[in-house]
Structures are given as C-alpha cells and as structure tokens.
Chain A
C-alpha cells in the first residue's frame, strides 16, 4: 500500500499527435521516456480495458498496446503480461477466443494472462479440487479496511504496473477513468457491492451504493498503484457508453493524457474534458485517503496546454427516460446508483439489439427505484429491482378492475334487476394484474433480466432477443460459469 508521504510528485503530460501509436510514444517521451519507468529485466503487467468480447472502443485500442509493448521491450523489460477481468459471467477465455488475443499478444512478445484461469476450464476431466488448487496458486487474498480481495499474484508480483485506459463515457462517473480501470484487476465477485435485503430507504436516499462502490474502488486501487497511467482519449466514446450502443459516437481528439499518478492523471483528464472536479467524489476521496495529488501547484504538467485543447464531450444520459426507448415509459423513483447503472445498460442494450422486439410489444412501463409511482397507459409493467418491487406492492396497477359482462339480450329492467346492478356497482371486484414482470435483484443482473423478459413476452414476440440469446449462449457457457464460481471469480 502506498502512503501519502510516498507520493512526492505527480507528473502529467497532455500530448497530441496524428495516430494513436505516435501519440502514446510522444507521451512517454514527454514524461521522461520509458526508461524512467522501466528498468532492465523488470516484469511488467499492463492492465487494459477488456470488458466484453466486442471490439474497440469497448476494449482498449490494440494499436496503443502494441506501441507500449514494443517500447517496454526496447527498454529491456523482462516478461510483459497483459490482462484484466471482464464483466461478470464472461470468461476471459471466451473473449480471447473471440478476439484471438493470446496469439496476437504472443506475436508481439507479450503474454496475455487468463486472470480467471478460464483457459484451463476446457481441459478434460478437470475436477473441482483441482480448480480450487489452481485458484489458490494464482491468487492472493489481500485485506484492506476490513475487507478482503482476491488479487492475481501475477499483478502483485510484477515490478511495474501500467494502466492503459480507454476513456469512454460512463453512466455513474461520467467518464471511465484510470481509477475505474484499476478496479477490474480484482475478480467481478470482489467488485460487487454487498447489499442486504433489510436495507432501509436511507440506503437509496443517500445513495449508499455509490459511496460503498467508491470506497471499494479505492481499496482495490490502494493494493497496487500503477507506475504509469495512460488515459487514451485519442478516440473518445461519447453519447452512449462505455460499451458500444446504438447512440455511441467516437470523437477523434488526437489526445492522450499520461502520468505517474492515477489521481492526478484522471484529474487533468477531467479538466481537459470540462468536467467539474470540485464535487467529483472519486477523486476527492482518493485524495483524502492519500492516494494522489489534486493540488494543481503540485502537479507538473507538460506537453499541450489544457485551455487550448479543451474538449467538449457529450456525456451519457443522466436520467433513464433520456435513453428514449420505443414503446417504453420509464418511471424512476428514488434510485440508487446500482439500479441506475444496470437499468441504463439494459435499456441501451434493448435499444441497440431489440429494435423489432420493441416495436412488436407496445405500451410498456418500466418502474425503477423506490416509489416510482403509478404508470399511465400501459399493457405491461416491468418492475426493475427489489426497491421497485417492494415499494409498489400496494399500488393500483397491481390490481385490475373486473368489468361485469353485460347480458347480450336486453331485458326490461325490473325494479329487482336495477337493485342488483346498484349492488354490483358498490362491490367493484378486482383481480391481480398478471401483466407484471418483476426483475428482482439489488441491483438486478442484466443476463437474468433478459431471460425473464424472454420468458414473459415469448419467443414469437422477441425475434431479436432470440438471436441475441443464441449469441450469449456462445459467449456465456454455463459450465464455465460454474467453474468461475468454483475459482471464486464470480
């Protein structure tokens, strides 16, 4: 763990050039050259974005990685490892197979590390105890602030730790900064925020989820701080991100921000992108915990001028209804960051890959958060998350009026029958509304939500989701998922 006293100075370089390769090389030169960071024979670990088995910019630009590996090799680096943990349920093997990463990095002279050991999952007759043993051998349990984190030994044992971070917009933190990138050096299970069912409403009101998340992120960050940080915004993903969605757009800025301290590098990146840093909790908390410098006077800034290169970025939707999903009305109550993030991804995923499904199923209402209110004009109600399910138990939409059938033949209304009608009017009957889909979880898992949606609407009404499910089956193998559980990754 680094202590505040250890952070003597922070150097940050803003560089601009014509290609991603030349920009990173220029950046490294600007902060003193690679030999300032790497000594002969050093074992290097490069942590990059490896979220999904999709292409750039969901994952880091491979041209940048190639330039970095070549530079490290020139500086005499010993072994160069690369890796990261992807989103939950997806094995690294699945990503590597889809993008052919292992061979690609091998050809560059570096080793792609299956941090989750998923490359061994396909070995014949591999048993549970063998997997547990492999897990014990490849991970170390690190305790920080009364929490325990499973950290790959290869990261802990490396002499130098470099973070190459693709800057994309992010629904919770506005931008994917290097501090967020560092978080996925621990398995998804250790990135999850523990919530318990008996949470009171204050949990949501105070957005305890985000507080816990930031605290967790900084705990992980403090385990192994990077020696070199590269915030790559040469191509900046804006409007909708950090994955590739329908509204995603790439802004070519030609800029990268490099530094020797993640907090300072992220701070300068935020300033460059005109994001308010005064209330940016992640950076402030990191500073308070002595993990970085935020005082501009103590940051040595080299390269391009911030003011002259200021970039305006279109951030992603800050409210769920801004996502503008066809045939969906979105009612948000008090919502914590956990549910917001998951709902944001689910809605964007639907907008991107379920265009036809959305058209086929009109008049839907998605209720998220605490007390989301009564939906108006709907055929189907989707309750997203435990809060929404719990707080709408007594809502009117849960029940629907039974309209008594009128007799087909008109009879003369006798006095008796008029009395019966009057009594019926007084006793309005209700039945349970079955057109409600509950998507439980705190926050709910996206893959689970998709499965529930598929069951609820039916295959015939969801041709896009049928196809998407087939892709997901290829990517998320249930056997691998089980093995990831055994090895403690998820």
Chain B
C-alpha cells in the first residue's frame, strides 16, 4: 500500500530501534537511514535521538500508537497497525491487527474522543495492550504520501520542501489525516492553513526562500546526550542557473571529531574547519526546543501580546551571545576596542545590552498608533530589476515590477487574515496610477478601508538579510548604512500614506536618525 522505499526505510528504523540499548554508543554504525519522508540520510542513532527528544515534546509523551487506514468514505477499515514503543516516539515493532478489531460507526469522526476511548477499551479487552495515540489515514492520504515519495532522492531540498508543504496542506484541507490526542503542533499547522484562507503554504516558503542569499552555514545543536550538526547550504551546483538548498544532519563522529571536553568555541572552530562553512552557530538544544514549544503553542491568529512576548524572548536570546549561542567567526562588533571607538563617534552599539524589554513595546505602540487597532495593510513586494525604464514620477511602474501582493488584516491588535491579491485585482483600471490613492480606492471598495500600502523591493530585503542577518560576523558599517539609506528611496521602500515615523526617517540623515533611535534600542547602563 505504502511506497516501497518508504516501507523499507521504516523497517530499518524499527530494526535499529528494537536492537538499540540506551547509552550504548557502540551502536554507532557507518550505515545510514533516511529520515521518514525525506531523502536525508543520517546515522540511525541520531534519528533515534531526534525522535526521543522531539516526539514527546511535540507529538505525544506516552507509549504505543495505533495507525488506522480507512476508506475514503470513512466506512471501512483497510488496515490496522499497532506500534509498540518502549519510549514515546521510539517505534520498535509493527503488528498488523485484524481489521475487525475495531468497528466503525457513522459519527465516529464527529467525536474522535469517544471513538478513541472505544478503541482503547476494545484493545484492552482483546489484550492487545494499551495505546496512547491513534493516527487515522484515509486511503487518499496514502496515495498523496506515495505520490510525494516518488523520486524524492533526486530532488533538491528546496523543491522537496515545497512538495512537503503542499502535502501537509492537502492532508489538512481535505481532512485526510486525524491524530488523537491532537498535538499542539498539529493544531498550530491547522490554524495556519485555515488562517491562510486558501493561500498555499509553499508560496510563502517560495517568497521567503527567494530572498535568501547564497549561503553555507552550519548549526551545532549542543546537548549532553548527543550534539548534532545541521549543515545548510544554498549553493549553485556546477553550472546550474538556480541555487539549490542542501541539507545534511551529522553527528560528530561523521566528521571524525570528538566533542568531549571541548568548549563551544573550540567545537565551532573544528566544525567550521571541517565543513568549510562561512559561518557556524552553536545553540543549546533545550533553548531551541523551548522556543519552538512556545511558538507552536501560539494560536495562528497571533495575538500581538503573544507575538511580542516571543519577540522579546528572541531578542533576549540574541543579546545573550556566548551564553545561549556562539558564532564562528566571532562578530567584530563584540570587540571592545572597536565598540569603544564607535561609542566615541556617538554610537552605542553594545548588542549585549539590546533592550529586549523595550523594543517590542516601542514597535507595538507605534504600530497601534499609526496603523490603528483595526487595519488592513497591503504589502507590495517588487523587483525593480524586472524593468529597464524605471519612471518614479508616478506608480505605473508597479504594474511591471510587483511580484507578490499580500493583504494583511488586523483586528484588535491580532493578525486575523492574509490574502494574496492578484495583479488583475490590484491594477484593474486602465487609468494611470498617479498616486497610490487609486489603488487604495479600488481595494477599499472590495476589502474595506485600506489603512496603508507598503512597497518593498526585493533588493532591500535581500540586502537587509545579507548584511544584518547573514553577515553578522562582519562589521561593515558602510554596507549596513547603505542598506538603511535604501529605506529613504521610493524605488526600494515606500509607505502610503506617509506616517510621521516614515517622514522622519526620510527627512533625517541616516546617521542622525541612528543616533536618535540607538538609545532606544540599546540600554544605557553598561553594568
């Protein structure tokens, strides 16, 4: 029924898990197995470890799982598989149960809780054991999974991710998969898909991915039990026109390194050297897990308070350099002499004193004041490289250069909806776009009053990501300043109508604007 390669790999996983003795590192083999539903081959011990850590946190913390395959009309059971797990998430054996072990009733899927309890009682009576979770797949779900699994080994990781997001969206939209008790992460995914209102999840990924520069990075996730390394690259392979995303998950033994007794910076040094990456980050696993837990616990209709609480934690994490995270090469900005000189020039850029407690509030209150508690904001993402004759006297050029148009709806400080607006909807009149007011007028008729229109060009986003996120190690004040100056130029950034904060940004010199804003972003006291 299920894809052959998927099944074979799954059997290998079960085999490894059933023979694994915890704490026995001699089980580290040179054999590799694939992470289910991906072509990524990793050491089985690492996969065991990932399941052991992540499954109880994000899926279910109890043992034994029952997989139920049902017909598309929901009337018949096609297969029943019982997984015995000594530890939550560690699938060790697979037992096929007779289909008549469970009887399906018409209203079972309206009340899954009742259905689950009936299954539980039935299995106990038949002495099959106790289960903690059920996963129900419709037959069509298996077809989708099989289709997805076709030739995944040959696909670049970015294409695979696009297909994977599509699979998730299909399974959830068509209600082809049910899991009970429903983990928060599944609920989170369902919320996001509902919230996107038909917009494809993979499109969001495509937008974000297209803005990333070419990179070669590694992330070391440190833990006492098993530290592992994620090697991610966006690179051009041979003479390809498109860069590809590559991803590898490694354990120290794969790189022939022993992390025992090494400090974080020493580990970074070694990994960076072996993998020849531009940058290597060291992050503690428990910090990443706790952040992910908080994010998945959020409702997708993100209340601003919750979003800013996470933002506050992220900023706190960011300011805790060499405490929560480490980077190789070490960012030049943390060099005390350089920071001293910068301070003499009037800029206090002590990132260890980033005002994690004040920045979210500042942004939130400014946003509320200028955009309102209810607002509709149209974001037009452009690529001005698409046109040779850029005429900024009016806004006609937008017809040619707009790539993605997203309408964000905010109600009572909560982002409630994102709509994708087509070019036809946006520029439906043939008249000249003298001002953005005509766009506002057109859209307001259909969607309600449009508070603002924000135009952002690809170049600005790419430069920002490159200089402020990917090139953290470098000091390069000029390129950073140049990126900030782009905010003043209409072809890269434009806000309609012009609110005072934006007017101020345009009017003031970049240096004096920075001097005005930095004391808010960085805490005054050095102790």
**Interface of A toward B, CB cutoff 8 Å:** 19, 21, 53-58, 61-63, 66, 97-100, 103-104, 107-108, 235, 237, 244, 246, 248-250, 252, 352-353, 355-356, 359-360, 460, 463-464, 466-467, 470-471, 474-475
Q: Cβ of B504 and Cβ of A463 under 8 Å apart?
A: no
Question: Interface stretch among B157-165, B222-230, B357-365?
Answer: B357-365
Q: Which B residues from 511 to 527 make CB contacts under 8 A with A?
A: 516-517, 519-520, 524
Q: Cβ of B362 and Cβ of A464 under 8 Å apart?
A: yes
Question: Interface stretch among B137-145, B264-272, B444-452, B473-481?
Answer: B444-452
Known contacts A356-B355, A463-B519, A467-B520; decide if A107 and B371 are in contact (CB<8 Å). Answer: no
Centre residue among A19, A99, A467, A475 by max chain B CB count within 10 A: A467
Contact of A63 among B365, B371, B448 (CB under 8 A): B448
A476, chain B: closest CB distance, angstroms: 10
Q: Cβ of B449 and Cβ of A107 under 8 Å apart?
A: no
How many chain B residues touch A (CB < 8 A): the figure is 40
B186, chain A: closest CB distance, angstroms: 29
Whether B375 is near chain A, meaning CB under 8 Å from some CB there, is yes
Whether B173 is near chain A, meaning CB under 8 Å from some CB there, is no
Contact of B368 among A63, A244, A460, A467 (CB under 8 A): A244
Q: Which B residues from 478 to 527 make CB contacts under 8 A with A?
A: 496-501, 503-504, 507-508, 516-517, 519-520, 524
Q: Which residues of B contact A108 (CB under 8 A)?
A: 441
Q: Which residues of A contact B508 (CB under 8 A)?
A: 470
Known contacts A66-B444, A250-B412, A252-B412; decide if A471 and B504 are in contact (CB<8 Å). Answer: yes
Q: A54-B369, A250-B413, A475-B500 are in contact. List 9 more A-B contacts (CB 8 A).
A: A55-B369, A57-B373, A58-B372, A61-B449, A63-B444, A250-B374, A355-B365, A466-B519, A474-B500
10 chain-A/chain-B pairs, Cβ below 8 angstroms: A19-B448, A21-B448, A54-B372, A55-B369, A55-B451, A61-B374, A63-B448, A108-B441, A352-B369, A460-B519
Q: Which residues of B contact A352 (CB under 8 A)?
A: 365, 369
B293, chain A: closest CB distance, angstroms: 28
Q: Which residues of A contact B501 (CB under 8 A)?
A: 471
Q: Which residues of A contact B437 (CB under 8 A)?
A: 100, 103-104, 107
- In the assembly, what is the distance between CA of A62 and CA of B443, in Å? 13
Known contacts A21-B448, A474-B503, A474-B504; decide if A237 and B441 are in contact (CB<8 Å). Answer: no
Q: Which residues of B contact A237 (CB under 8 A)?
A: 373
Q: Which residues of A contact B519 (CB under 8 A)?
A: 460, 463, 466
Q: Cβ of A100 and Cβ of B444 under 8 Å apart?
A: no
Q: Which residues of B contact A100 (CB under 8 A)?
A: 437, 440, 496-497
Q: Which residues of B contact A61 (CB under 8 A)?
A: 374, 449
Known contacts A98-B499, A107-B441, A356-B520; decide if A470 and B362 are in contact (CB<8 Å). Answer: no
Known contacts A355-B362, A356-B355, A471-B501; decide if A463 and B374 are in contact (CB<8 Å). Answer: no
Contact of B411 among A99, A252, A460 (CB under 8 A): A252
Q: Which residues of B contact A460 (CB under 8 A)?
A: 519, 524
- In the assembly, what is the distance between CA of A61 and CA of B504, in Å? 26
- In the assembly, what is the distance between CA of A475 and CA of B519, in Å? 23
- In the assembly, what is the distance between CA of A66 and CA of B355, in Å? 42
Whether B435 is near chain A, meaning CB under 8 Å from some CB there, is yes
Contact of A360 among B369, B449, B524 (CB under 8 A): B524
- In the assembly, what is the distance between CA of A457 and CA of B444, in Å? 45
- In the assembly, what is the distance between CA of A292 and CA of B373, in Å? 34
Known contacts A63-B448, A353-B365; decide if A55 and B371 are in contact (CB<8 Å). Answer: yes
Q: Which B residues from 108 to 144 make CB contacts under 8 A with A?
A: none
Q: Which B residues from 399 to 416 make CB contacts under 8 A with A?
A: 411-413
Chain B, residues 240-274, CB within 8 Å of chain A (1/0): the string is 00000000000000000000000000000000000
- In the assembly, what is the distance between CA of A58 and CA of B371, in Å? 11
Whether B370 is near chain A, meaning CB under 8 Å from some CB there, is yes
Q: Which residues of B contact A464 (CB under 8 A)?
A: 362, 520
Known contacts A61-B449, A97-B497, A471-B501; decide if A103 and B373 are in contact (CB<8 Å). Answer: no
